[in-house]
């Protein structure tokens, strides 16, 4: 990313990135890269912003599905669900640290704003 002179970071959620979220957030901050994540957990770790479904509800849904499978339901018979709603989370401290001013209308629309 450094050699390609990237000017932003978009991080998609997965087990590996969640487990290493602090490393990813710290890298983006050190490089002064505005970054958008797909989990509130990254914003809580100091990341700039996330546009994401409720991670905790996703875990609850997965647990309910696992329960159904353990009780004998075939995985293919469980309907696929799109997570709702998506939420916008912002971190003002992270924005200030990289010299980004969050527009007032974006802050007003956010579901949560960490200071």
User: For residue 2, is it within any domain?
Assistant: no
User: For residue 1, is it within any domain?
Assistant: no
User: For residue 42, is it within any domain?
Assistant: yes
pLDDT for 57? 87
8 Å CB contact between 18 and 59: no
Q: What is the pLDDT of residues 10-26, one digit of tens each?
A: 998 888 999 999 999 99
Q: What is the pLDDT of residues 45-83, one digit of tens each?
A: 999 999 998 888 888 999 999 999 999 999 999 998 888
Spatial CA neighbour of 39 closest among 3, 9, 7, 14: 14
Q: Is the pLDDT of residue 90 over 80?
A: yes
Q: How far apart are CA 111 and CA 15, in angstroms?
A: 24
User: Mean pLDDT of all residues in the chain?
Assistant: 92
**Total count of domains within the chain:** 1
pLDDT for 76? 94
User: For residue 4, is it within any domain?
Assistant: no
User: For residue 64, is it within any domain?
Assistant: yes
pLDDT for 16? 92
User: For residue 51, is it within any domain?
Assistant: yes
**What is the H or E stretch that residue 10 is in?**
strand 9-11
User: For residue 72, is it within any domain?
Assistant: yes
User: For residue 3, is it within any domain?
Assistant: no
Q: Is the pLDDT of residue 2 over 80?
A: no
Q: Which domain holds residue 87?
A: 9-114
Per-residue confidence band for 85, with pLDDT thresholds at 50, 70 and 90? confident
């Amino acid at each position: 990313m450094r050699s390609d002179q990237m000017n932003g970071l978009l991080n998609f959620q997965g087990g590996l990135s969640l487990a290493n979220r602090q490393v990813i957030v710290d890298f983006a901050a050190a490089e002064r890269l505005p970054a958008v994540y797909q989990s509130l957990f990254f914003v809580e770790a100091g990341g700039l912003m996330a546009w994401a479904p409720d991670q905790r509800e996703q875990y609850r849904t997965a647990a309910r599905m696992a329960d159904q499978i353990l009780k004998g339901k075939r995985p293919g018979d469980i309907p696929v669900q799109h997570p709702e709603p998506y939420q916008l989370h912002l971190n003002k401290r992270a924005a200030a640290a990289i010299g980004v001013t969050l527009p007032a209308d974006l802050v007003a629309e956010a579901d949560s704003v960490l200071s």
